[in-house]
Amino acid sequence: MAEIETFPDAASLARAAANQWVALAEASMARHGQFSVALSGGSTPRALYSLLAASEFAARVDWSRLHVFWGDERCVPPDDPESNYRMARQALLDHAPIPLSNVHRIPCEQGPRQAAAAYEQTLHAWFSGGSAGRRVESDLPRFDLILLGMGEDGHTASLFPGAAALGERTRWVVAYKVVTLGAWRVTLTPLVINAAAHVMFLVSGANKAEKLRQVLTGPYRPDELPAQIVRPTRGHLVWWVDAAAASALAGA
């Protein structure tokens, strides 16, 4: 059974996740001098990001040694309301003392495939850059933390049901047109997600409850339930959920 942390509501979930972020950042910086985190998009993490920008949390983080990446991005300009970068910038990055050079966004304005190639180069450069804290293990970038959400269809990052990216065996980042959305996305592949030291799913709301039950307790079928493909090879996966999202789980 997966490791699940359940909280009464979205606000207490966000607060607990913010405390965990700070704890992981402190531990990573103590261990290897930096903290690399890939942010998730959508709406759920906004409350977490806003909390992290608040002084009670921001003051506990050495932002000069914290590097922000993204797990996925919509192929829109960085100032587009759909942009995951824009959401994180508005909720967190514009309010925390993080150096611009520590923010490594996916450059979707270059076009999907070019953005994926450029972002993969960014990961290669940063994770094998030789300085403390930049780590590549078994030739894969090892994020200290990857934040993930889960859609109502069981997707995570931009790994949607039926996506060829679910079976990607060499590339770290791919771009493809999501049929159900009729839109292009850029996403980390399962290879990179499963190389992370820590993976935190943040799932909130009754609308996710049935899919969460299928993902956590049903048969393993990641092509239909992409969130199931997240099984860190040498990392720690925890599902951080509120009571509404957990309401279909046994014993809820």
Contact positions vs ligand 6PG (CB under 6 A): 40-44, 71-72, 74, 84, 149-151, 155-158
C-beta separation of 202 from 10 below 8 A: no
- Between helix 46-53 and helix 10-32 the angle, nearest 10°, is 60
Instruction: State the minimum distance, in angstroms, from the CB of residue 43 to ligand 6PG.
Output: 4
For ligand 6PG, the closer of residues 72 and 168 by Cβ is 72
For ligand 6PG, the closer of residues 34 and 44 by Cβ is 44
For ligand 6PG, the closer of residues 36 and 156 by Cβ is 156
* 10 CB-near residues (< 8 Å, 6+ apart): 44, 47, 204, 205, 242
User: What six digits make up the tokens of 185?
Assistant: 């996305």
For ligand 6PG, the closer of residues 76 and 136 by Cβ is 76
Instruction: State the minimum distance, in angstroms, from the CB of residue 202 to ligand 6PG.
Output: 7
Instruction: State the minimum distance, in angstroms, from the CB of residue 155 to ligand 6PG.
Output: 6
Instruction: State the minimum distance, in angstroms, from the CB of residue 171 to ligand 6PG.
Output: 18
Instruction: State the minimum distance, in angstroms, from the CB of residue 187 to ligand 6PG.
Output: 8
For ligand 6PG, the closer of residues 74 and 86 by Cβ is 74
The residue behind tokens 């690399």 is: 36
What Rg, from alpha-carbon coordinates, does the chain have? Answer: 17
Query: Which residue is nearest to ligand 6PG, using beta carbons?
Result: 149
Taking the C-alpha atoms of residue 164 and residue 179, their distance in angstroms, rounded to an integer, is 12
Taking the C-alpha atoms of residue 248 and residue 73, their distance in angstroms, rounded to an integer, is 30
Which residues on neighbouring strands pair with residue 159, listed in sequence order? 156
Instruction: State the minimum distance, in angstroms, from the CB of residue 97 to ligand 6PG.
Output: 25
User: What six digits make up the tokens of 64?
Assistant: 């000069």
Taking the C-alpha atoms of residue 210 and residue 170, their distance in angstroms, rounded to an integer, is 33
